[in-house]
Amino acid sequence: MDRDIAERKLAELHAEMRRCRRCLDAGYPITPRAIFSGPATAKIMVVGQAPGANEAKTGRPFDGPAGRRLFSWLAQAGFDEDEFRATQYITAITKCFPGKKGSRGDRVPTAMERRLCAPFLARELELVNPQLIIPVGRIAISRFLGKVRLDETIGNMYECDGKLVLPLPHPSGANLWLNRPESRELLDRALAQLHALKKELSV
Ligand code: SF4
């Protein structure tokens, strides 16, 4: 697709996502403000689970403590945060803050909310057409690879519909998987692959 057309259609999609109230209308306690960023020219698309409370306030994806950890990982792979945010695309499986689940962190979007939001991600993928997808966390990974174990997935590269897929764990402090030394090794392997891909993709 011509880049100008893709940018125009992406801007239309963004406006549609910002107006969307599907989950609210279906009775889910979301904060209706779709969070995403990046241009149609992006070669990399990061797909998270859902924005958190910080992101809902600032309107920037991965803008809280989990985001800081994610960008420290990306820095290990050679990416500068400001440049990455300006040139690559960041979105999520569901685009509005799902709300808190008691005192135990954010509510995980239900299967129905994921279904309601799925057409938006499909259209983002079509318009941006990234060469590399980085799904972050189990729910995002399952969108591209089905139900898989993190231990068997992180550190490996996949192909899905002609695009490279490099999964990363969720960077939330609540993700206990990250605390194990063997997990750190798998993560380091994934980031080394990402570093190599950065050169390959010239990003
Ligand atoms: S999460 Fe997605 S489908 Fe649900 S209201 Fe937000 S943009 Fe719409």
Please check the confidence at residue 83 and state whether its pLDDT lies above 80. yes
What is the model's pTM?
A: 0.96
List the strands of the sheet with 44-48, edge to edge. Answer: 89-92, 44-48, 132-135, 163-165, 158-160
Pick the CATH number of 3-201 from 3.30.1490.100, 3.40.470.10, 3.40.50.11290, 3.40.630.30: 3.40.470.10
Task: State in Å: Cα 27 to ligand 1 middle.
Answer: 12
Please check the confidence at residue 1 and state whether its pLDDT lies above 80. no
Task: State in Å: Cα 28 to ligand 1 middle.
Answer: 10
Please identify which residue in the block is written with the tokens 């997808």. 133
What is the per-residue pLDDT across 153-176, written as a single tens digit (0 to 9) for each? 999 999 999 999 999 999 998 899
Q: How far apart are CA 27 and CA 159, in angstroms?
A: 36
Is the minimum distance from the CB of 121 to ligand 1 under 6 angstroms? no
Of 35, 91, 116, the one to substitute when testing ligand 1's pocket (max ligand atoms within 8 A of C-beta) is 116
The confidence score (pLDDT) of residue 86 equals 98
Protein residue with its CA nearest to atom 8 in ligand 1: 20
Protein residue with its CA nearest to atom 3 in ligand 1: 117
Residue 102 tokens read as 């008691």
Comparing CA positions, the residue from 191, 181, 203, 180 lying closest to residue 72 is 191
What is the per-residue pLDDT across 140-155, written as a single tens digit (0 to 9) for each? 999 999 999 999 999 9
The confidence score (pLDDT) of residue 174 equals 84
Protein residue with its CA nearest to atom 2 in ligand 1: 117
Please check the confidence at residue 81 and state whether its pLDDT lies above 90. yes
The mean pLDDT value for 184-196 works out to 97
Instruction: Give whole-number Cα distances, 33 to 17, 50, 51, 162, in Å.
Output: 8, 11, 10, 31
What is the per-residue pLDDT across 99-139, written as a single tens digit (0 to 9) for each? 988 777 889 999 999 999 999 999 999 999 999 999 999 99
The confidence score (pLDDT) of residue 30 equals 97
Q: How far apart are CA 168 and CA 150, in angstroms?
A: 9
Q: Which atom of ligand 1 is nearest to the CA of 17?
A: 7
The confidence score (pLDDT) of residue 173 equals 86
Task: State in Å: Cα 86 to ligand 1 middle.
Answer: 23
The mean pLDDT value for 63-92 works out to 97
Please, what sign has the CA dihedral across residues 15, 128, 63, 92?
Answer: positive
The mean pLDDT value for 71-75 works out to 98
**pLDDT band for position 3 (50/70/90)?**
confident
Comparing CA positions, the residue from 176, 150, 144, 147 lying closest to residue 48 is 144
Please check the confidence at residue 202 and state whether its pLDDT lies above 90. yes
